[in-house]
Structure 1
Amino acid sequence: MKIVVISDTHMPRSSSKLPERLIAELANADAILHAGDWTSMDVYPIVSAYAPTYGVSGNNDGPDIVKKFGLKKIVQLGSCRIGLIHGHGTNKSIATETRAIDAFKGKRLDAIVYGHSHTPVLKRIAGGTIVLNPGSPTDKRRQPRYSFAIMRIIEGKLVAELILYDDKS
């Protein structure tokens, strides 16, 4: 199973369309995860035309997006459980990654996916849980490259990779 993971698309402000590099991977995805900051509900039909799409809302999303997706969820894909959250909060002294991990404390998860910072992260924490921030495919901010991620479930095990690229067109 191939899962394309995106966050912080910020459309249409940051881009009027999805980048070709991302579209190439969406074309054969089995599922898509979006970790919030869609900024327009118009993004959902574009993304979900490729594969079943699971998402959460972010701090730049309006009430329609919050109502549709909520703020956090656990998605079951194949044999894997993935916690999905944007990661924003009011206490600026707590790192986004810490907030995301703490939001799922006590839950057995194969991965925690978050966004908000636009900073790509891929690592494993104690217990083997993957912690993944796909960055942004359209708004790299202070990052050198645009990014998203691909997760695969292979023989019941979850693996992930970051996809980094220079051109968002």
Structure 2
Amino acid sequence: MKIAILSDTHAKKHNDKLFRLIDTLFVDADMIVHAGDYISSDVVSKLREHKNFVGVWGNNDKGYIRDLLKEKVILSVEGYKIGLYHGHGNSKNTLQTAYDKFIDDKVDVIIFGHSHQPLVLTKNKILMINPGSPSYKRREPWYSYIILEIVDKKINVSLQLFK
């Protein structure tokens, strides 16, 4: 199982580069996951062309996007329970906000975004993944996304960086 993970695309105009990434890099993904802040419904529509897309809305998503997607999702994939949430909230720390959102759900992995800072670490035996952003890096030196593969019940996480 190969899962391509994105967040914080913040697409407004000229989405050609992002759409090329979706079309070329994710063509062999079994699933595409987006952790919110699409901004443009065109991005949601493009991702929905993939046979197995799962996404949540972020704090900057409005109207149609919020009507179409949920704020929080829990997936079961290859025996793992994966929580998906954008990461927005009132906490000082995005990592803690995402962690707290699933505190009673007994998940194995939490995928979140919001900070635009790529991150892969464990917190209390839960794998925490933030893919950063493939199109709006803010202060980060790189654009980024994550490839998560599950093979023989083992998880491999690969951070993909590019300029």
TM-score under structure 2 length normalisation: 0.92
Q: CA deviation at 1:20?
A: 4.4
Q: Decide which of 102, 107, 110 is 1:109's aligned counterpart.
A: 107
Q: CA deviation at 1:26?
A: 0.5
Q: CA deviation at 1:125?
A: 1.9
Gaps of 5+ in 1: none
Q: Distance in 1 between matches of 2:27 and 2:12?
A: 21
Aligned length: 162
Secondary structure of 1:42's aligned partner: helix
- Name the counterpart of 1:100: 98
- Name the counterpart of 1:130: 127
Secondary structure of 1:47's aligned partner: helix
Secondary structure of 2:32's aligned partner: strand
Q: CA deviation at 1:73?
A: 1.1
Identity of aligned residues (%): 39
Question: Residues 163 and 41 of structure 1: is their aligned pair in 2 closer, same or farther, counting only changes over 3 Å?
Answer: same
Pick which of 78-87 and 138-147 moved more: 78-87
Gaps of 5+ in 2: none
Pick which of 111-120 and 61-70 moved more: 61-70
Once the two structures are superposed, residues 25-73 of structure 1 have per-residue CA deviations (whole angstroms, 9 ceiling, x without a partner) of 2010000110000112211221232341101000110122112112111
Q: CA RMSD for the aligned pairs?
A: 1.6
TM-score under structure 1 length normalisation: 0.89
Asked if 2 retains the 8 angstrom alpha-carbon contact of 1:148 and 1:164, the reply is yes
